[in-house]
Structures are given as structure tokens and as C-alpha cells.
Structure 1
Amino acid sequence: MPIGTVPSYQPPFPFIYGHVQTLYPTLLRKMQAGGCRRQRIDTPDGDFLDIDWHLAGQGYAERVVVVSHGLEGNSRKKYPLGMARHLNSQGWDVVCLNFRGCSGEPNLLPRFYHSGVTDDLHTVLCHTLQTGGYKKAALIGFSMGGNQTLKYLGEDPAKVPTEVVAAVTFSVPCDLANASRRLDRLENRLYMEYFMKGLREKVRIKAQMFPDILDTQGLAGMRTFLPFDDKYTAPIHGFKDARDYYTKCASLQFLPSIKVPTLLVQAKDDPFLADSCYPVKEAEASTYLHLEIPSYGGHVGFMQPGEVYWSEARAAKFLEDNDI
């Protein structure tokens, strides 16, 4: 597939800097949740997931998009809301899922979420298709949600419902080990502390619920992903250690098996992504994977003047081009 920069995306100054692109939407973009409807659904393992429905009209449309947020995000962050608003304006229903523990209420089981979770995405997708009777569906994932989306599409393509006709992902740390090391850099300390603050709090809550399984010794001093994933993420979710988790859950290895048209957008100035997160060879060898590397965009940024961000317009165009 064609690979390269996207000359059509030329943000104004100072959005030519990756850190500005990364921080601006979170801090200064104006966005409201609007008229979405929250629903709680059961999971096969006896837990629950909270999802938000954004309908384009009074009833269900013929097509729907399921949106997955990023690490320590939720369905009402500005980037899923912006995507939902734009796709609604184009006549598509949108369901934004919350990872376990991200909807404002702790989940019932010891497990929470991680970069390789795909069973919850499958549960939400199947529930959405059944509820709305949709003829066509697409997936959109940001950052960690993008890694989950790509892994889901490639790990067992036969399991993906036939209604899924396309996917779009942005700012994906598809090589988890190298992306983790990239985030350890001094320049990314602000982001890392934001992520770790939320993760530490989630473990404290879980430790109160399951004191025989979890303890918080050493938790307060954890400032990077590796020790946290070694002690908590890996053993809770059945991995040997953090490196085993990174190896098995990185979506990079699943890209060659994807069987639906999929767009992966990785900004060249993304401060979170290592060089190995730009899968040029995999895209060149694939019939289905489209890789675009705009010069600008930061991490889940892609700001442009006006209400609609470039990422939202690009996603809608890709879905339209693939007859969603």
C-alpha cells in the first residue's frame, strides 16, 4: 500500500510542534459530552462494561463505529467525543466504550485493562451489532485503544464479525516494549506521571477490594511502566512478567493477518512512539494495511482550526472510501 506523509495536513503555528499538538486538545479544546446515552452491559466472565451511545438520528442508523480510547482515558475524553460528533454529522451511529475501571466505577473482578485486551472489544462490538441491527460496522482506536483494535483484527480474523468492513487507528504504540522505553525519556516525564498517577490509584482501589491478591508495597515509588507492569499488569492478567506482556500484546506482530481495510496514522513528531512503531515493511507487504505518516500531529493531536480535527475528517474519509 502507498506509504508516506500527508501533505494536506499543515497545521498552523505553534501546532508544528509535537508536544503542543499532544497537550493542546486535552487542556484547551472545548468539547461537551452532548446527548449520549450510557448503557451498562454484562461480560461473559461476570463483570460489566459501560458504553456510550451517540446516535445520528432518532433511531438506529444502518452503520455504526465502535471507538476505543487510550491509556487512562475514557469514553468522554475530548478525542472520542470529537470523533463521535463528526461521524454523527455524517450519518453514522457511534458507540464509545470504556475499558474496565475507566468509566468512573471500579469493576467487579481483579482484572482491569491493558494494551492487549480484545475480548472486551469483541463483547461491545457484538452487543452493538445485535442491539442496532447494523448492516455495516467499523472500528476506531486511539493509542492503546488502537493497539487493541489492530491486535483484535489480526489475532483471529475469522472471529471478527463480517459486518466489520474497515478500521482506523491513530498514534498506536504497536511495539509496546520500545514505546515504553521511549516514554521513559526525560522529555516525557509529564505524560508518564499523568499515566502513573491514574494507574497507581486504580491499584489502590483494587487492593482494597482484593487484599489477598494485591498489595501496594512499593506502589507509591513506581514512576515508569516496567515495574508497574511487572508487579501488577502481568500477573493479574496471566503474563509471566512485563516483557512477556509487551511481547505477546504488541499489535505489530498481528498486522500481516489483518483482513479488512485498516488505516494506521502515526505522526512523525509523536513523542510517544519509537521508530519501530512505524511499520513500513508490514504495510508495504499488506493488501489491507494503509500506513500514513504525516509530519505533524503529536500523540492523538491532529488539531486544525475549526470544530473538526484533521483526524476526524481523515477517519470519515477513509470509511467513506471503503464503502462503510
Structure 2
Amino acid sequence: MSSEAFKPKRFVQGKHLQTVYNTFFPPKNYLRSKYYFEDILLQLGDGSGDSLWLEHNPPISQYSSGPSWNGIYIVMIHGMEGTSDSSYLVSLAQNALLRGYGCIRMNLRNCGRGQGFSKGTYNIGQANDVQDVIDFVWKKLSHRIFLSGFSLSASLVLKYLGERRNHKVEAFSSTNPPLDLFKGCEFIDSKEGKFYRDRFVSGFRKKIKNKIIQLPPELEKNAFQTKTFYEFDDRVTAPFFGYKDAKEYYMDCSCVRYIPDIRHSGIIIHSEDDPVAPPFDWEKIEWNRLPHIRTILSPKGGHVGFLTDPTPEIPDGRWLNKIILDYFDLKVDSGN
């Protein structure tokens, strides 16, 4: 890939600018106007009564002149407090459609248009939710599936693929995954991470206050008393999902434990200057034992940023799209 080495966009050099740029200058979203779309409310199989809101864009060739369908659907999942309309999912989906893919953008529980269709919330280890979506796509749309996760869901994708289950996935991408949740939480609670921590916790509290997320009274009270991310996970997230405490939750869900067991082809992209989820323990992973996984650790890029100056190869300046889709294109004909 000639464009593999990432070069930051002029005047968007810093890690924080790379991280927040798309919040202020998002790509135009044509996925519900220019392209055919379908909303899908998928009831989960865990007996909770919760449902996930999926946004389906079928291959262009199924309804118009355009690139022939390559037979593959990409299931895309957003990060913490993101939605199916997060800029990185929108831009990836629009580029993927133009390359002949079908796309499913998944909202985690009570996110995006799925707010109010679940009683509870999501966590970084909810691999069964991913399985339910994959099973749906396999049954209804295609037997050839690629999986793409970002930030929190990048870690979720790695955990999911490292578990023993019938994945039904051929290839994956994982962008800026938190690897070790203990170290990640310690960082987000530090002075460096406080800005992002406050944003995430505020989003959860707003949903709790508006009764979108329904918690037992004691946990609801705890949610507004905690001062750190660790306390929030220890007194709210962990007990809500049946863990003894935050330590047990982090131990079970840290994807760094599952990466050695991944047998699928994939690409993992991270940045050394990530101001939200630094790549702690990256160097401790024995990547040489995982030749089926391509890795890119860029010196710069921020957190799911990777904005570069437009070129003929990357006209929209969104480097991630090209890197991920070039990798997926290589896997289309290989059949994994």
C-alpha cells in the first residue's frame, strides 16, 4: 500500500486536533438520501428484551447502476458513546459502497436511533451482541462477512474473535483499540485524559437521568456520585453486568488477553499519540506469532483521526478508509 505511512493534515498536526477534527468538520452523510437504506430493529437473543438498531445499506448494484457487488458485507461498530452516524462509520461506509460492498452499521445498546429500545446499556465485552448481528447478516444477507470496529468496539471485535465461538467472519479491522483496560482507565483518569473522561461519563449520566438507561436505584445513585472513570466502572458498570468489581470486569474484557487466540485475518491500526486509549502493552504482544494479522502503529493519528491532506489516492483526506478497504479488497478474492 503506497499510502500506508500516515502524514497528518497540514494545520491538523496535533493528537487532540486529529481526534476532534471530525466532530467539527464531519463528512457529508448521504447514507439515508443518496443511497438506499433500511432500518433494522434486531431483538437480541439473551432474553433481556433489548434490541439493537442496525442501519443497512445494500450494495449499489442491487438497485442502481454502480460497482458490482463483491459478495461481502462489512459490519461496522462505533466507539464509546458514538452511533451509527459517527463520522468514521459514515465515511467508511460511503467509500465501501463505492467499492462494491454492502454495509451494516451497528448501534450498540441504547445508542443512536436505538435509544429507548433497550433497558440497559453496553460494555466493552458484549461479544454476544456482535454474534447476534453476525448471525443475522449470515442468515439474511450474505455468508461472506468482514467486521470493522473502532475505539471501544475495536477492542470488542478483538475479544469476540479471540473467543471460542462460530464467528462466521472472514476478516476484520480494529482501529485504536484499548488493549489493557487497567492501564487505559488509569490514563483516562489522569490529567491528560480528563477532558475525554468527562465527555464519556457525561453521556452516560444524561442517558441515566432521562431514563434511557434503566438502572436499579442504588446503581443510579452511584452513577452521579462517582468522581473517576474507575469509580464509575467499579460502582455502576461492573455490578450492573454481574461483575464483582471493576478489576474483575477489566480482567475479563481486556482484549490483550484474547489477541493471541485470534485465527482470523485482520488489520489492527493504532497511533502512538492516541490521547484517549494509548497503545499500552503493544510491544508485549508477540505479533510475530500472528502472521495473519497486519499491524500498523503510526507515530501520529490521534484517536480514530488519521486525517491527511487530500491526494489523488485519498481525495477525501481520510487515510483510514483507504488503508482498511485496501486490506479488505485483498481478502475479497482470497476467500480467507
* Alpha-carbon offset, residue 290 of structure 1: 2.0
Pair 227,206 (structure 1): closer, same or farther in 2 beyond 3 Å: farther
Pair 248,131 (structure 1): closer, same or farther in 2 beyond 3 Å: same
Q: 2:263 aligns with which of 259, 274, 278?
A: 259
Q: 1:11 aligns with which of 5, 8, 12?
A: 8
Residue pair 2:81, 2:111 contacting (<8 A) in 1 also: yes
TM-score under structure 1 length normalisation:
0.90
Task: Supply the distance in 2 between the matched residues of 1:129 and 1:172 (Cα, whole angstroms).
Answer: 25
SS at match of 1:50: strand
Task: Supply the distance in 1 between the matched residues of 2:42 and 2:150 (Cα, whole angstroms).
Answer: 22
Q: 1:22 aligns with which of 19, 29, 39?
A: 19
Task: Supply the distance in 2 between the matched residues of 1:174 and 1:196 (Cα, whole angstroms).
Answer: 20
Deviates more, 1:282-291 or 1:14-23: 282-291
- Residue 55 of structure 2 aligns with an amino acid whose one-letter code is D
Deviation track 1:1-43 (CA, whole Å, cap 9, x = no partner) reads xxxxx86321233333111100101122232252232210111
SS at match of 1:200: helix
Q: Could you tell me which residue of structure 2 aligns to residue 186 of structure 1?
A: 191
Deviation track 1:75-116 (CA, whole Å, cap 9, x = no partner) reads 01111111101111100011010110113422443x310111
- Residue 299 of structure 1 aligns with an amino acid whose one-letter code is H
Q: Could you tell me which residue of structure 2 aligns to residue 145 of structure 1?
A: 153
Q: Could you tell me which residue of structure 1 aligns to residue 51 of structure 2?
A: 48
- Residue 248 of structure 2 aligns with an amino acid whose one-letter code is D
| 1:99 aligned onto 2:108 | yes
Q: How many residues matched?
A: 313
Pair 106,9 (structure 1): closer, same or farther in 2 beyond 3 Å: same
Task: Supply the distance in 2 between the matched residues of 1:209 and 1:114 (Cα, whole angstroms).
Answer: 15
Residue pair 1:65, 1:93 contacting (<8 A) in 2 also: yes
The aligned runs of 1:219-238 (5 Å cut-off) are 219-238=223-242
Task: Supply the distance in 2 between the matched residues of 1:314 and 1:26 (Cα, whole angstroms).
Answer: 21
* Alpha-carbon offset, residue 289 of structure 1: 2.3
Task: Supply the distance in 2 between the matched residues of 1:137 and 1:218 (Cα, whole angstroms).
Answer: 40
Task: Supply the distance in 1 between the matched residues of 2:227 and 2:306 (Cα, whole angstroms).
Answer: 28
Q: Could you tell me which residue of structure 2 aligns to residue 159 of structure 1?
A: 166
Pair 199,314 (structure 1): closer, same or farther in 2 beyond 3 Å: same
Query: What is the RMSD of the two structures over their aligned residues, measured on CA atoms?
Result: 2.1
- Residue 58 of structure 2 aligns with an amino acid whose one-letter code is L
TM-score under structure 2 length normalisation:
0.87
Task: Supply the distance in 2 between the matched residues of 1:141 and 1:275 (Cα, whole angstroms).
Answer: 16
SS at match of 1:284: helix
> Structure 2 unaligned runs (5+)?
64-68
Pair 204,316 (structure 1): closer, same or farther in 2 beyond 3 Å: same
Task: Supply the distance in 2 between the matched residues of 1:15 and 1:284 (Cα, whole angstroms).
Answer: 33
Deviation track 1:261-306 (CA, whole Å, cap 9, x = no partner) reads 1111011111123452425533122132222111211001011234
| 1:311 aligned onto 2:320 | yes
The aligned runs of 1:55-74 (5 Å cut-off) are 55-59=58-62, 61=69, 62-74=71-83
Deviation track 1:133-166 (CA, whole Å, cap 9, x = no partner) reads x14110000010101100000011x4211xx211
SS at match of 2:221: coil
Task: Supply the distance in 2 between the matched residues of 1:275 and 1:55 (Cα, whole angstroms).
Answer: 35
- Residue 250 of structure 1 aligns with an amino acid whose one-letter code is S
Pair 255,87 (structure 1): closer, same or farther in 2 beyond 3 Å: same
Deviates more, 1:260-269 or 1:60-69: 60-69
Q: Could you tell me which residue of structure 2 aligns to residue 3 of structure 1?
A: none
Q: Could you tell me which residue of structure 2 aligns to residue 89 of structure 1?
A: 98
SS at match of 2:171: strand
Residue pair 2:121, 2:213 contacting (<8 A) in 1 also: no
Deviation track 1:200-253 (CA, whole Å, cap 9, x = no partner) reads 12333459845x555432433434311111111111111111111011001111
